[in-house]
Amino acid sequence: MEKLVAIILAGGSGERLQPLTRQRSKASVPFAGKYRLIDITLSNCINSGIRKIFVLTQYLSESLNRHIQEGWSISSSGLGDFIYCIPAQMKTGADWFSGTADAVRQNLNLLAGKDVDDVLILSGDHVYKMDYSKLINFHRSKKAELTISAIRVEKSQAAGRLGVLDVDLESRLVGFAEKPEDPKTIPENSEYALASMGIYVFNVKTLLKELSGEGDDFGKHIIPGMISANPNIFVYDYEKNNKIKDYNIVVKDGVREKVLIERTRDSCCWRDVGTIDSFYEASMDLVQINPDFSLYGEKWPLRTYQRQLPPSKYILGGRATDSIVSEGCIISGAYVEGSILSPGVIIEKDAFVQQSVIFDDVLIEPGVRIRRAIIDKNCRIRAGATLGFNLESDTARGLTVSKNGIVVVPKGCEVTCNDPRLL
């Protein structure tokens, strides 16, 4: 995209995702086996033709910086393409970023000397597919100073969690409430609210003007303060306007063919995976026959850092059904059902894993039984241990159990029949 810079906010600590964020930022949490959450936003940018990208980091950013450096090296000074990780540096005082707007304010020097008309501001920890070029074209066609992308969500999902928008018939923003407990619903359906996706396009002059004053957060301070004084704020209807075209493979008369279609279902999925339960639900969607978020599009690929690992193998009767199995896994005489295995997972004889998410390099020994669990990297589940079958016992052993009963094993733990302990 011409005269456009993207800024991805990837500094969130992800408190509600503990213990998965105990040693990493939210944006670097593994997802869908081989990816991290940041890969989704970065893939959207590259697929949309946006190749000038700043990633603002802050909390526990080592693994995120390394992942982007090793897996997303597109820098070309001659062509102007880049993905740069920018750590928090206390440029404007002795404080870290105190909000989304403050993060951008502390890095306005990144825009100096660049031929930029608009700035696309994104979150680095949501699950969705979006052609940002359509959003930018909408923004420019309206001659907008700010455009906010929005999605319809159930009122209960927006309450206390998402910014809620109020628009007129011409898609102008007339009201904004940040995480209200009783969200205003849309006129045509009292069960749904119009929620901000945390995706903003600012005219660069407007952005510089608004960030010259006070206010640390776009949702809490900047946008509400702009509404009364600025009629040129528009809302982009994500579900109506965002249709990702992709190939489906069909077999006709014994011949495989590619058919170009618009993936309406896939193009309207947006998930905030900010809690253990929402992260787990988004993960379990991936192993369904027709998931809301598909990993298998050819025209809208997801990119990531690739470890050099051999193919996965199943030996001694090992099998996996309705599951995603990444490279380098060994399933030896074990049964895996409805689960996601990240690279390098080993599951030994007579073990049973059901509806679970297993991160990289986990060793599951013989006779282990696991159900509805998330196991972080480098864990060892000792022979005969069980997880997810007795939640009171799991809680008593010091493990995190979510509101919906998902058991979480922190990174680097060893779980025995009795108590988990760090390796």
Strands 413-415 vs 420-422: parallel, antiparallel or unpaired: antiparallel
Residue where a domain terminates, one of 240, 267, 286: 240
Residue 78's pLDDT is what? 67
Domain end residue (candidates: 205, 225, 240)? 240
Output the pLDDT for position 75: 67
One domain, residues 101 and 205 = yes
Q: What is the mean pLDDT of residues 248-267?
A: 71
Q: Which domain holds residue 63?
A: 4-240
Q: Give the count of domains, the chain.
A: 2
Residue 255 inside a domain? The answer is: no
Query: Each residue of 174-202: pLDDT tens digit?
Result: 999 888 999 988 888 888 899 999 999 99
What is the pLDDT at residue 423? 41
* Beta-carbon contacts of residue 185 (< 8 Å; ≥ 6 apart): 155, 191, 192, 193
Does some domain include residue 33?
A: yes
Residue 247 located in a structural domain:
no
Find the DSSP H helices in 89-227.
Answer: 100-105, 132-141, 155-158, 204-210, 223-227
Task: Please say if the pLDDT value at position 422 is more than 60.
Answer: no
pTM of the model: 0.92
209 and 336 belong to one structural domain: no
**Domain co-membership, 91 together with 236:** yes
Are residues 194 and 46 part of one domain?
Answer: yes
Same domain flag for 351 and 232: no
Whether 194 and 340 map to the same domain: the answer is no
Same domain, 69 and 185: yes
CATH of the domain at 51: 3.90.550.10
257 inside domain: no
The amino acid at residue 343 is P
Is 253 contained in some domain?
no
Q: Burial code of 101-112, b = ≥16 C-beta within 10 A, e = fewer?
A: bbbbbbbbebbe
Which of 240, 272, 291 is at the close of a domain? Answer: 240
Would 246 be classed as within a structural domain? no
Mean pLDDT estimate for the chain: 90
Between 215 and 223, residue with greater pLDDT: 223
> Does residue 284 belong to any structural domain of this protein?
no
Mean per-residue pLDDT, 349-373? 98
Q: In percent, how much of the chain has pLDDT > 70?
A: 93
Element (DSSP H or E) covering residue 199: strand 192-203
Q: Tell me, yes or no, whether 228 and 328 share the same domain.
A: no
Q: 84-88, 255-259, 378-382: which range is least confident on average?
A: 255-259
- Kindly report the CATH number assigned to the domain that includes residue 413: 2.160.10.10
| Confidence class for position 141, pLDDT limits 50, 70, 90 | very high
